[in-house]
Amino acid sequence: MEDIKNFIHIKNKLPERLKGLYDLSMNLWWSWNPETRDLGNIISTPAWNRAHHNPLTFLSILPRDVFERCAHNPEFLRRYDYIYEKFKNYMNKKFLWFHEKTGLTESPKIVYLSAEYGIHHSLSIYAGGLGILAGDHIKESSDLGLPMIAIGFNYPKGYVRQKINADGWQEDVSDYVGDRPVAKVYKDSETPLILKIPILNTYVYTEVNKVMVGRVPLYLLDTNIEMNEPWLRDISSNLYAGDIEQRLKQEIVLGLGSYLLLKELGIDYSVIHINEGHPAFVLLGQIAEFLKETGNFDEAVEKTREMVVFTTHTPVAAGHDKFPFPMMERYFNQAANDFGIDLNLFFQLGVNPENPDEGFNMTAFAMRVSKHKNAVSKKHQEVTKIMWRHLWPEKSLEEVPIDYVTNGIHVPTWIHRELKKLYENNLDPELMEMHDSKTIWELIDDIPDDILWKTHKEAKQILFNYIREHIRRRWIEDKEDPSITVAEGVMLDPEVLTIAFARRFTAYKRPDLILYDLERLKKIVNNDIRPVQIIFAGKAHPADIEGKRLIQKVFNIAKDPDFGGRIVFVEDYNQNLAKFLIRGVDVWLNNPIPPLEASGTSGMKASLNGVPNLSILDGWWIEGYNGKNGWIFGTDIDISGEERNRLDAESLYNVLENEVIPMYYEVSSKGVPKNWVKVMKEAIKTVAPTFSARRMIKEYTEKFYTDILFEQMKKRKESV
């Protein structure tokens, strides 16, 4: 059962004719269907903006008489009826791609587990790329009809918002957490579903909430309840606690809690897909279940292994969670008793042979107890095989059983709606239904250059308006120094070539690479005839001091009058700002230290919207670049450190000065940069189908999910 008591006031204020507005607001399907969001603007644009585009908050702040008027407005009702019917048809459609592919109309569930989900900025349970990928994964699984459920954390305090002080230092501000479309799950009409999770020598109690993401239910665990002692309530409060013990508590609750939830709900499942190592303790619960059946630990591990897909995203050894064995022993003492597990046997599964003293390694554990293991790009597969080959010492490097599925993006979420209209009008009205087809995107060349360019210029102006509105609000609220408004973009010019670097600020991504030679950069950005603007955005993890120093460096350069307001840092990078950037800038810059970019997806989103990449050859761009759809730079010499930075920066400046800038400013008599638009079109038609989440989910299904599903179903029949 689900609880709607928190929002009963909203439902009660809606006229009977408009009760569907509540249904629409309680399913995040609206987040990738812009026609639904239009309803908010039709009712009241100021209120929609004040609600931060959160439908529940929007419905909550408006008085009943507003909805009464809408209920008697024929124009509004026509739009509302169409959207509500579209939603109901989406939810009720039974025979979808998954069923056509597998022939299964009824199937055991695929359980998808992740520590974060980036679905929409109004549901702040994500920190960065891993969460955005997870959100896109379950959205596309919904669209294709996969029998999936997802599990994560509710994070009542969200992640962190970013505020840049006058000296350029990132201040970590409590996240804005508005109304969330989550319903409390009940065992019966009066009893909330509470999970009892063994930890240390006691138990943590976890409430269960549920949010619908299209057809996929996403269950969210929350320890912030009165049944817990005060020091245990904060386990699920914030994403990615810096303290190692808090991190271990979170991962125990997420993993064991997910297993216990599946049992409490009686869900029939055959596939467990773990997105990165954080939720891997779910496998301990599954091992314990099979141990009761077999009485043999190794057999229980083998039976569990046959159900598991594990996706790793981290190409750096330091990025994989590991916990000291004495700490593990303390925290799993109660669980060992409850589940009947021998801790010595369990701990062996988490030993990293290359460094056995480091503690229990979550990735080593997940690798050992999974049938299918995959990296997230072809290059990342090579790196991952080298990193983890010691788990299979008897195999050659080529035989190491780690596959890859290159990440993709959920096209309906990330495509600019005006471009979507343009594509549908000029290519095919059913484009969104077949957007992973390469042939349909070849028709992009038929779109007139001036129309595509005009659409991009409009998106660019919308981005700059958004940035200026942010500056205006902060100036009013904080009475900040005018130099800060310059650094934040008040002087941006829509006629100037604009480059964006927007991603998490951390050392290996080298956000300051383009600032390597400041004198040369001044000449580039201040050129009288062909100037350049650079927009930076991105948060540093609260514990990443070096990342915060990099932000400070960029921000203080942005305040320098010698750069003429053409270096900009936009604070509080989130999913909403990302959408404006990926469609409004002219070039998407990416320059990690190879091979540390596992995949990357922001560049895919930019290319989908006709914004070419200027990137180091790493991650997905190795597969995506074809010589005509963007630019590459960087040295191919295998070096690191300061010399690498110098050579890569030199290469970047050369490509900008000799290729990118001249092409942008070479315009026809109609003011259209024909060669530039040619690159835009090539970016769209090569990236949109190949790097879509639709292609990605189909690949996961065909490579991994169906293999496990059919094998598990076969075993069940044999055992009957």
**Strand 497-502 relative to strand 532-537: parallel, antiparallel, unpaired?**
parallel
Contact 218, 183 (CB under 8 A): no
pLDDT at 612: 98
Angle at 378 between CA 377 and CA 379, to 5 degrees: 95
| Alpha helix segments (H runs only) across 427-492 | 438-441, 449-478, 482-487
User: Which residues, 6 or more positions from 224, have their beta carbon under 8 angstroms from its beta carbon?
Assistant: 156, 207, 233, 234, 236, 237
Contact by Cβ (8 Å): 206, 85: no
Q: Are the CB atoms for 574 and 121 separated by under 8 Å?
A: yes
- pLDDT for 716 equals 81
With the C-alpha atoms ordered 106, 150, 272, 208, is the resulting torsion angle positive or negative? negative
Domains of the chain (ranges, CATH numbers): 2-92 (no CATH), 107-159+209-407+698-719 (3.40.50.2000), 411-691 (3.40.50.2000)
Q: What DSSP assignment string belongs to 649-669?
A: HHHHHHHIIIIIHHHHH---T
Read off the amino acid at residue 614: L
Cβ atoms of 637 and 622 closer than 8 Å: no
Beta strands 532-537 and 567-570: pairing type?
parallel
Q: Per DSSP, what are the bridge partners of residue 497? A: 532
What pLDDT was estimated at residue 197?
Answer: 96
Closest CA to 169 of 505, 405, 634, 519: 505
Cα–Cα distance measured from residue 701 to residue 256, given in angstroms and rounded to the nearest whole number: 26
Alpha helix locations (H) across 175-281?
A: 230-233, 244-265
Beta bridge partners of 27: 212
H or E stretch covering 153: strand 148-153
pTM for the whole thing?
0.95
Cα(702)–Cα(690) distance, integer angstroms: 16
The β-bridge relationship of strands 308-311 and 372-375 is parallel
Backbone angles phi and psi of 172, in degrees to 5? -90, 110
Dist. CA 720–CA 718, nearest whole Å: 6
Maximum Cα–Cα distance across the chain? 80
Q: Is the dihedral of CA 685, 690, 694, 695 positive or negative?
A: positive
End-to-end CA distance of the chain, in Å?
A: 31
Burial class (CB in 10 A: 0-12, 13-18, 19+), 527: middle
As given in the structure block, the two tokens for residue 499 are 């480059």
How distant, in Å, are the alpha carbons of 255, 280, 370 from that of 365?
A: 13, 7, 9
Evaluate whether 126 touches 120 at the Cβ level (below 8 Å): no
Q: Are 165 and 239 within 8 A, CB to CB? A: no
Q: Please state whether 624 falls in left (phi above 0), alpha (psi between -120 and 50) or beta.
A: alpha
Would strands 148-153 and 109-113 be described as parallel, antiparallel, or unpaired? parallel
CA distance 471 to 465: 10
Q: Residue 71: enclosing H or E segment and its boundaries?
A: none
Q: Which of 563, 588, 568, 569 is nearest to 660 (CA)?
A: 588
Nearest Cα to Cα of residue 604 among 373, 413, 318, 359: 413
pLDDT of residue 114: 97
Q: What is the dihedral of CA 577, 379, 590, 506, to 10 degrees?
A: 80
- Alpha-carbon distance of 408 to 605, in angstroms, equals 9
Residue 503 and residue 558: Cα distance in Å, rounded? 17
SS (HEC) of 243-255: CHHHHHHHHHHHH
**Separation between Cα atoms, residue 530 and residue 5, nearest integer Å:** 59
Nearest of 548, 550, 562 to residue 486 by alpha carbon = 562
Give residues with Cβ within 8 angstroms of 579, minimum separation 6.
414
Q: CB–CB of 220/209 below 8 Å?
A: yes
Category of 572 on φ-ψ map: left (φ > 0), alpha (ψ -120 to 50) or beta? left
The two structure tokens encoding residue 194: 């509470």
Q: How far apart are the C-alpha atoms of 544 and 591, rounded to whole Å?
A: 19
Q: Where are the beta strands (DSSP E) in 322-457?
A: 322-323, 360-361, 372-375, 403-404
CA nearest neighbour of 341 among 325, 329, 351: 329
Pick the closest to residue 536 from 493, 495, 583, 572 (CA basis).
572
How far apart, in whole angstroms, are the C-alpha atoms of residue 665 and residue 477? Answer: 39
Q: Mean pLDDT of successive 10-residue segments in the chain (720 residues)?
A: 64 92 95 91 89 89 93 94 96 93 88 96 88 97 97 87 89 78 88 94 94 97 93 84 87 97 96 97 97 95 97 88 95 92 96 93 97 97 96 96 98 95 87 90 93 97 92 76 80 96 94 97 96 96 92 95 94 92 97 93 97 97 97 90 95 98 96 97 96 98 95 80
> Three-state DSSP class for 382?
helix
* DSSP H or E segment with residue 282: helix 282-294
Residue type, 277: G
Cβ(219)–Cβ(151) below 8 Å = yes
**What does the pLDDT read at residue 1?**
46
For 137, residues 6+ apart whose C-beta sits below 8 A from its C-beta are: 112, 275, 693, 696, 697
Distance CA 491, CA 507 (A): 28
The answer to whether the beta carbons of residues 168 and 552 sit under 8 Å apart is: yes
Contact partners, residue 573, CB within 8 Å, separation at least 6: 162, 502, 537, 538, 539
**Interatomic CA distance for residues 655 and 496, integer angstroms:** 18
Cα–Cα–Cα angle for 596, 597, 602, rounded to 5 degrees? 160
CA separation for the pair 319, 308 (Å, rounded): 22
Q: What residue has token string 């976890």?
A: 206
